[in-house]
Amino acid sequence: MTDFAATKACFHLPEGMVYLDGNSLGPLPKAATARMTQAMEAEWGDMLITGWNRGGRDGAGWMAQPTALGDRIGGLIGAEAGSVVLGDTLSIKVYQALASALELRPDRRVVISDSGNFPSDLYMADGLIRSLDKGHELRVVAPDEVEAAITDEVAAIMITEVDYRSGRKHDMAALTKKAHSVGALAIWDLAHSAGALEVDLSGAGADFAVGCTYKYLNGGPGAPAFIYVAPRHAKTARPALSGWLGHESPFAFDLDYRPGSGIERMRVGTPPVLAMAALECAMDIWDMTTMADVRAKSIDLTERFVKGIESTCPMLLLASPRDPAERGSQISFAFPDGYAAMQALIARGVIGDFRAPDIMRFGFTPLYVDEADVDRAVEIIADVMNNRLWDRPEYKRRARVT
């Protein structure tokens, strides 16, 4: 069993704060500060350009980091070794995955996604379809209509497993199976899954997957995204963003593009070396646990939170599935003045976030949130809600980031 007190001790958590927003941005691993200094002084500072071949904590070179870290993340999401690579941002990885999938299904024109998806995924799909100009159609259906929408016109389904607003979780294995049964491909966005619950990409037969590392994985603001390509597509998936570092031989400087071997072809350009140094420290903490332990503890914490809020705050309406098996690692409540209520909570050290139009969202992250944190959060939320402490003009002014 994981020692969650030990994992919690690995994070810098401000005194007096209950941090329930690790689903948006994970906290700072304490070791990252020294590691970043080392990466800057000993590597960037003293190695300069030679760091590409000998930098990194293990001395394997900065150039090797995107696949080395990819394998470590792969271990948390049921990916085969050598099938995950880091780089760019999630929006870009969504574009890459969808572009490759559409090229693998040249006779089909329909992409299925759902209205619970994060808008950036839909925007990227829309932009790709416009650039391709081949008559593709992005069909956005209600989350519970995805399965029925998978017909033999469909080239790919592009689904975020866990809904960023409600936490509702799709059945990855079942939808992937349905997609394959009609000859379609399945792309999974794991933004709210990686580090939140057990994912088995290989077992589910997913074709592509993407995700970010700054949410549950705790890689830090602007940490790079990852992409998974199933080994069976590794040699046939064409990279649409054919940058030089995805080339078979970047330092041959050929004028023609030839995709690199396997997952390397999903690299685009120069990797974010400093950001990856911080992510390494986050991954060290993941080595102290298993996703089975994290999931079990996450369910305990979310159940405790729902019970606590429902018994004290009748004005808050549960907006997440009641059955923990049907949700990720967050709990959302609907409340018409949710924005102001969340600002009042933040002012009192309970950090969640707000998602329009009326969702108060709380993430539960067993690596650094424990039962005492949940109880303290419930107590403060009950005080704010029952005494209408949110009903003040300064809590109603919207900031740029909610």
Ligand X SMILES: *Cc1c(COP(=O)(O)O)cnc(C)c1O
Interface residues with ligand X (CB under 6 A) are 89-91, 118, 120-121, 160, 164, 189, 191-192, 212, 225
Give catalytic status of residue 284 as yes or no: no
CB 36 within 8 A of CB 274: yes
Place of tokens 């059955």: 323
Task: Give me the phi and psi of 244, to 5 degrees please.
Answer: -65, -30
Given 297, 361, 364, 373, which residue is catalytic? Answer: 361
Peptide bond into 272 cis (omega under 30): no
Give the separation between CA 283 and CA 216, rounded to whole angstroms.
Answer: 11
Contact by Cβ (8 Å): 19, 369: yes
User: Is there a catalytic annotation at residue 333?
Assistant: no
In whole angstroms, the minimum distance from the beta carbon of 198 to ligand X comes to: 18
To the nearest whole angstrom, how small is the minimum distance from the Cβ of residue 377 to ligand X?
A: 22
Closest separation in Å from C-beta 211 to ligand X = 8
Toward ligand X, which CB reaches closer, 266 or 378? 266
- Choice between 65 and 160, CB closer to ligand X: 160
Q: Is 118 a catalytic residue?
A: yes
Among residues 121 and 337, whose Cβ is nearest to ligand X?
Answer: 121
Residue with Cβ nearer ligand X (185 or 191): 191
Does the active-site annotation cover 178? no
Q: Closest separation between CB of residue 90 and ligand X, Å?
A: 4
In the bound complex, what is the minimum distance in angstroms from residue 192's beta carbon to ligand X?
6
Supply the minimum distance, in Å, between the C-beta of residue 276 and ligand X. 15
Rounded Cα distance between 227 and 6, Å, is 30
The residue (of 363 and 366) whose beta carbon lies closer to ligand X is 363
DSSP 30-46: HHHHHHHHHIIIIIIIH
For residues 169 and 160, what is the distance between their CA atoms, to the nearest angstrom? 9
Residue 361, both tokens:
């969202």
| DSSP letter (8 states) at residue 120 | H
The one-letter amino acid at 373: D
In terms of CB distance, is 45 or 221 closer to ligand X? 221
The distance of closest approach from Cβ of residue 263 to ligand X in the complex, given in angstroms and rounded to an integer, is 19
Q: In whole angstroms, give the CA distance from residue 207 to residue 187.
A: 6
Measured distance CA(245)–CA(270) in Å, rounded: 7
Which of 57, 71, 105, 118 is an active site residue?
118
Pick between residue 189 and residue 280 the one whose CB is nearest to ligand X: 189
Of 155, 156, 168, 183, nearest in space to 115 by CA: 168
Of these residues, 215, 297, 327, 355, which one is catalytic?
Answer: 215
Residues 6+ positions from 177 with CB-CB distance below 8 Å:
205
Which among 19, 214, 226, 395 is annotated as catalytic? 214
Residue 246 makes CB contacts below 8 A (sequence gap 6+) with 239, 259, 260, 264, 265, 266, 267, 268
Q: Do 58 and 398 contact (CB within 8 A), yes or no?
A: no
Q: What residues are annotated to the active site?
A: 118, 189, 214-215, 361
